[in-house]
Amino acid sequence: MALFMIILFIKHFMQYTHTIIHYDEITLKGGNRPLFERALISNIKEFISEIKCNNIYKEGGKIIIETNKDTDLWKMKEILKNIPGISNFYFAVSEEKDLKKINEKTVEILRGYLKTENKKILRQAQDDRNNKIKTFKIEARRADKKFVLKSPEINARVGEYVLKNTKLKVDVHNPDIEIVIDIGYKQCFIYFTKTNGIGGLPVGTAGKLVSLISGGIDSPVASFMMNKRGAKNIFVHFKNKTIFGQNDSKDKIEKLIKQLCKFQGKSKLYTIPFEEFQKEIITNIPSKDRMIVYRRIMFKLAEEIAKKEKAKGFVTGDSLSQVASQTIDNIVVIYNDAKLPILSPLIGMNKQEIISIAEKIGTYDISILPYHDCCSFLIAKHPETRAKLETIQNQEKNIKIDIIIEEIISKMKPKIL
């Protein structure tokens, strides 16, 4: 019903002319700020390439998209709210920088908005009329400091006009609706409702990372967290053999990555067959140490992918002491031979915190789909929690690690999702 009312408002009461996009962390980048702004604009263009709009450009401290009657605003909203670097955005109506026209346009679109929004509220609240929008606040912003009126004067003049021509009352502390009058360099923008983005930095500004993606809950969340910090993930999944036979995890992993594509755009996936190493590990490594050796070899394989992709580090879903292989002693041993930085953004989070993010970004329902992993082969009843590096290195001498890696990597080609 809410979606229906929004569409009804868009079609019958007004035509939004612009989308106003704000960013916050980028503004702290000093002399490098233009680089981040250009990256964000480039990412937005890529994500909305199939949506009809007129132009996209930067003005002052915001990015502006010119829309038209054919622009799918609902689709644009769903895309923009997932793009790292965007703090929030509004759908806006433009007007000339003339106070009389600004007043008239504000009341015109406000009446249409209130008619639609109050109907929605009444339906949701089962006709509880006390919940209707009753108060407002004018929030003037001036990118153009040469405009004849200063912000407090705009607030007062437009506020007075709204008071006289609607039934709304002023409440500057806790209004039901905030009306923004944004004086740009060429025109004025009027808008009401804000949609929050996910913030952070534009994907690509921090370079590329190799993300070790499993079928579980943690690694997709870790990948998303690095997207927010500006990293582009190259995904690597290790395809294992289980007691049920070859684990065909393809569909589940691809579903996870397609969901993550909403945050970073097109993605590469390398699927590495691990059965040969599993045989070697089972044959040569004591059961209590198998998972440690398994993960050490994973990083050796991932390092070859990183070289090929010119990635600067690795991403894991490790959370300290969540499982035996993630104790501090074991992490030290597992990470020891890695030649690139290993980033673990979930390291201090508990499981419920991770699940909450997974639900928010839409990966949780995919992660909990049935999936057979290799634990029955590699996890002992009492796994090692305080591994010794020298012991593990001696055990690994029985495995032809470099030869097997060379054979596997020679056959590797990424899939673009």
Domain parsing of the chain, residue ranges: 2-196, 208-416
CATH of domain 2-196: 3.30.2130.30
Q: Which two tokens stand for residue 360?
A: 């928010």
Residues of the chain with pLDDT under 50: 1-13, 121-122, 125-126, 243, 376
pLDDT at site 5: 43
3 state DSSP class of 20: strand
Burial class (CB in 10 A: 0-12, 13-18, 19+), 384: buried
Classify 208-416 by CATH class.
Answer: alpha beta
Is 416 exposed, middle or buried (CB count within 10 Å of its CB: 0-12, 13-18, 19+)? exposed
Token duo for residue 363:
């990966």
Q: Which residues are CB-neighbours of 100 under 8 A, at least 6 positions away?
A: none
CA distance 328 to 360: 29
CA distance 348 to 320: 6
Q: Copy the structure tokens of residue 186.
A: 């060429």
Q: Which residues contact 395 (CB under 8 A, 6 or more apart)?
A: 284, 285, 286, 289, 293
Task: Give residue 12's pLDDT.
Answer: 41
Q: What is the pLDDT of residue 250?
A: 78
CA distances to 3, 116, 339, 341 from 348, rounded to whole Å, are: 38, 45, 23, 18
What is the maximum span of the chain, computed from C-alpha positions, in angstroms?
A: 86
- What pLDDT does residue 9 have? 43
CA dist 147 and 288 (Å) reads 73
Q: What's the pLDDT at 381?
A: 75
∠ CA 99-100-103, rounded to 5° = 85
DSSP string, 248-284: --HHHHHHHHHHHHHHH-S-EEEEEE-HHHHHHHHHH
Q: Would the pTM of this model clear 0.75, i.e. be above it?
A: yes
pLDDT for 227? 98
The per-residue pLDDT for 2 is 43
